Chain A
């Protein structure tokens, strides 16, 4: 190693070190590349390179029809897929000028808030794990599993759900949904209390997270940052409160706001937001307008279809003679009365119930005109922008339609894109080791950042 040269003034000439925190890195959950210029341990410059998960969402959505974009939206912010689904569907519905029934709004709100909870659980869990709190990660993922089982009960899938449709949702909530939901939320509350006890006043956690990754609210606004990141700096902006959509204006919830804008405040904001989301779901479960009764109006006897078959096999016809078979209400089209509650009453947008498709000519034509190649949901020519509150901030969909059955342009305004563009500002001045908690609290989701 060459000896340091000395200048006339007596100062040592040093050189800054370039450290490549490369795309594949254990402490970065997500693939980005940060080329950090270090002066000893202090970060003096950071060049962030993204795009390693660019999957061409916007180009692909020009090749499929309006409902076909929904699986692609699942994979944008893949820890809270239902919020993306809902945002996209509401944007297309705004373009069409239709609105969905009230029960459908409540269903969408319930599943969106459950998705928001899973997103925050993953974020807090992963950032705790990177700081060494592995047990907290395991506890929070356990809570996430309960919520995923709940989502699976409603939508059929754990992660990539494709639940919302243009003009409604795929199927109604299962008949016995409220009880498992309450239990899962109880469990989540318990897990959150445990995580709180382990982390919030933990000396190591507090020391590592406080004072690192600070950003002022003026800078945050200039970068376009929204969501929990912005609220931790003290600005009270939540799309659900300020530009309310769906039924959020009828639900009571608080929006936690921090003060200092550092990593610790972001952690606290997220923990409190999870509690508020649980509160929203409980209210929505209470206020949700009831679904239609699935009973035989004369005898009032509903029997599950499987049980009916079993009774018939052993010859107990008398017990099932007056009853109505109850099939799973989430199977699309197997219950025509349910459609009134989950779908907008607009024939050119939502598929008819199966009894109608096979039963009468209008249903058949409606089905044909929605499914056949070249036909389908065809909004009028126009452009709309619709923002929803994603887990990371304002998730906006800008859709341009040319009147055909495929979208002309779908642009998703990714909330964590703005946050990541501010990453150099967040890490410069802090030490190298502070990069880990800062990056963890950014909650960078590659699917949303790079699309």
Chain B
């Protein structure tokens, strides 16, 4: 039994490792944050060295949805549709403060944070965030992906990797005595 548990968690780790280093992002670029996204993706702050260098401009082929820039109410149904078209496992990164909370556009036209319409995994605030913050957010996303079960179950909040700065080391295990805290993503 323990052997099965050991093998499964090793498998989870391997799959997590593979997933986190082969991120195909869908950059849903709307506004100014797109400039910093371009800067992060280009040679100076190269995001390709983290494995996330290939954007896929179709939601069906992507696994991470980078929502970059303000989402207006006119755009929100389009965004939701794109999100729905992505296949599991998928993650959402909210890039820029307009997508986190609406930024300083507290008016009739802006969605005050995309987490009102879809679940978000990583929030990268900033107006726009420097490429270093984006890379920091990407590393946290990678840690989160690593800690996820192969089946798509998420670890409970208290089981999330405590080091919010860096990688999860490969020896890290989920503590089995705490149960496999299931945190199903709300659809």
Q: B35 → chain A, closest Cβ, in Å?
A: 6
Q: A141-B38, A142-B43, A145-B44 are in contact. Are A75 and B110 (CB under 8 A)?
A: no
Residues in chain B near residue A53, CB distance under 8 A: 30-31, 69-70, 72, 75
Q: A78-B35, A159-B128, A446-B31 are in contact. Are A55 and B110 (CB under 8 A)?
A: yes
Q: B97 → chain A, closest Cβ, in Å?
A: 11
A54 at the interface (CB under 8 A from B): yes
Can you report 11 residue pairs joining A to B where beta carbons are below 8 Å apart?
A24-B79, A29-B29, A29-B34, A52-B74, A141-B38, A142-B44, A158-B130, A159-B32, A159-B35, A160-B32, A447-B32
Contact with B along A118-158 (1 / 0, CB 8 A): 00001000000000000001100110110010000000001
CB within 8 Å: A-B pair count: 89
Contact B75 A52 (CB under 8 A): yes
Q: A141-B42, A159-B36 are in contact. Are A55 and B74 (CB under 8 A)?
A: no
Residues in chain A near residue B108, CB distance under 8 A: 56, 59
Residues in chain B near residue A446, CB distance under 8 A: 30-31
CA distance A142 to B41 in the complex (A): 11
Q: A55-B107, A56-B105 are in contact. Are A75 and B130 (CB under 8 A)?
A: no
Q: B136 → chain A, closest Cβ, in Å?
A: 16
In this complex, how many residues of chain B approach chain A with their Cβ under 8 Å: the count is 32
Q: Which residues of A contact B (CB under 8 A)?
A: 22-26, 29, 31, 51-56, 59-60, 71-72, 74-75, 78-79, 122, 137-138, 141-142, 144-145, 148, 158-160, 446-447, 450
Contact A31 B107 (CB under 8 A): no
Pick from B32, B58, B72, B107: contact of A75, CB under 8 Å: B32
Contact B39 A52 (CB under 8 A): no
B57 at the interface (CB under 8 A from A): yes
B17 at the interface (CB under 8 A from A): no
Residues in chain A near residue B42, CB distance under 8 A: 137-138, 141-142, 145
Q: A24-B82, A54-B74 are in contact. Are A141 and B32 (CB under 8 A)?
A: no
Q: A26-B57, A141-B38, A447-B32 are in contact. Are A56 and B78 (CB under 8 A)?
A: no
Which DSSP category, helix, strand, loop or mixed, fits chain B's interface?
loop
Contact A141 B39 (CB under 8 A): yes
Which DSSP category, helix, strand, loop or mixed, fits chain A's interface?
loop
CA distance A29 to B109 in the complex (A): 21
CA distance A60 to B102 in the complex (A): 13
Contact B70 A55 (CB under 8 A): yes
Q: B34 → chain A, closest Cβ, in Å?
A: 8
CA distance A148 to B45 in the complex (A): 13
Pick from A54, A71, A159: contact of B72, CB under 8 Å: A54
CA distance A142 to B46 in the complex (A): 11
Within 49-77 of B, Cβ neighbours of A (below 8 Å) are at 57-58, 69-70, 72, 74-75
